[in-house]
Structure 1
Amino acid sequence: MQTLNVVAFAGASNLALWAGQKHGVFARHGLEIALSLTPNSKAMASDLYAGRFDLALTAVDNIVAYDEGQGEVELPGPADFVAWLGVDDGMLNVMAAPDVADIAALRGRTVAVDAMTTGFAFVLREILGRAGIADAVEWVAVGGGAQRLAALVEGAQAATLLNTPLDLAAEAKGFRRLARAQDVVGPYQGIVAASRAGVLAERRAALVAFARAFRETLALLDADHAEAAAILADHAKMPPPVAARAVAALLDPLRGIIRDQAISDDGLRTVLRLRSHFTGKQLDDPSRYLDPSIRAEAFG
């Protein structure tokens, strides 16, 4: 039995991890998953670089940002982060306080992101920019989705970008859905599994086993949505009706967790387009941040 230390944000990717642990799927593949939730992308990048974790389930934009030296925390050396498995398209939605009728109504209000220039920050800037108000709001860095949801509920911000199931948790509390990110920015690659290049070489067999176990767990969840909802309700502390809605979204075959675990070329190109636009550095080579060999070995 090999231990894989995994760091993730609150969100869609964790359902498969929790279910795989509960039903012994990872154990059947010779793995013990030690899962930790990170408060923000700065901590994630620092901890992944320092070797505290073998892999991160994180926005691919974080991988690009740190590989390009554009991260918000300075690392001791080159990041050499590599994305190797696709999890979802971000499943991102602009969620706002009940008194905010539409995107334009955010003018003069406070809008939260994880970090100012990494994660999904540029997605939200693009959405507000297209509405002509990107420079007419107060931007604040709050941390990961769980932290942003808490700040939204507490009234510390008027809007933020949340992924599923956090968007549904906000909606259940009366908060308003203003936009679905992909409807505005187009195809988008959200969460990926990523590691340092050295870990890909040193722990290759374990990462291949992880990919296989992750896919096997998704098949198990597809076969029993009620069980998936019970797992999500227990771990995410969600009311059962909200958990059921979240599972329906997470396991939607078109818009939910990626079943073949491929990283979308079109989606990654959107990430690079947004980062190029907002940083002024032209990025146009998706292969620079990827290693498809783990997935290829896992699934042939």
Structure 2
Amino acid sequence: MITIQNLTVTFKDQKALDIQRPITFNSGDRIGIIGANGAGKSTMINACLGLVPYSGSIDSSVRPEQMAVHLQANTYSELMPISKVIETILNTKIKNNEKLQELIAFFDFEASLKKKYKNLSGGQKQRLTLILVLMQDAPITFFDEVTSGLDFETRQQLMQKVRAWYQGKNATICLVSHYYDELEQLVNKILILDKGKVVDFDYTTELFAKYCGYSVIVLDRTPKHEAEINKRDEIYGPDHLIVLGCQDKDHEQEIAKHLIDKNINFKRSNSDIEIMSYNAILNNNGGKRYEN
């Protein structure tokens, strides 16, 4: 569907994006795009959409005008009822459009149609934009920080709706998010960017195995806990946590038994995208931490 290669985007004298080896987004992929602020996530989306000049190759079977995008911030007329905003943007009448009626009902948005934009909650504003974006039924859709600034419950509800809407569909979605729990429930591939370069791109399961092993065991970083772990098992993670990499099931059971015997609480995961991304980026940087 889309293959990106030797792609460079430069603002003034600074390279914002420098993707050398080919990366391909296939039909039906669910791709999470992650990296620190300034890593090039939004720049890559804008390049695919033809919104910024670039050098290199974006070979796509889908024209930019056929792609859909949900941006971080959207503004609409605050004086019109939301129903009129929707009808004006989509150039259709709600009462005459069954697909639009389905989306409005799907997002439980009926009660918001008579409101004005300024009176909508943050979650309702995002539901509005999602309705407008999904109405395009695009072969590929970019979601750029859809739930930024929303509370946990609202974020979860919206992501559950997005996941349900795309269930069984062959459309490709690319989700930029700082919320790793959203990515874990929605995507099957991860593209990791750092300072405009690709750190890695593959299926989530493959990347976890590559950078973390069989599983990880996570516990709070305290002097007591540090005294009880084997430093050789420790891999990268947030400063306030100790992360132990387990190479196989027997290794995991050995570590878990020791911690249980010491009455130490811990969490176990074989799919933690945050821990995986820490290790991918820091291994790529020789252990040097990046700044958000």
- TM-score, length-scaled by structure 2: 0.26
Higher helix proportion:
1
Higher strand proportion:
2
Higher relative contact order (CA 8 A, sep 6+): 1
- TM-score, length-scaled by structure 1: 0.25
